[in-house]
Amino acid sequence: MARTQSTCGARTKHGGCCRRLAMVGASRCNLHRGDWATYTIERDRERARARKRPKR
């Protein structure tokens, strides 16, 4: 079975590319992820939706 998960696209301190696998649904590994990442943005949107729901 071929690996379809991409590698992290971040640059290391020494100027090379990170060799770790990217997290599912993202372009970075868990060491290089940030608040800008797609999965973080989606999680924040879900939290905002949960706060806007009317309480019964």
Residues 6+ apart with CB under 8 A from 21: 5, 6, 7, 8, 29
| pLDDT tens-digit readout, 12-53 | 888 898 999 888 877 788 888 776 666 666 777 888 888 876
Q: How confident is the model at residue 3 (pLDDT cuts 50, 70, 90)?
A: low
CA torsion sign, 48 to 51 to 54 to 56?
Answer: positive
Give residue 56's pLDDT. Answer: 65
| pLDDT tens-digit readout, 23-34 | 887 778 888 877
Give residue 55's pLDDT. Answer: 63
Give residue 23's pLDDT. Answer: 83
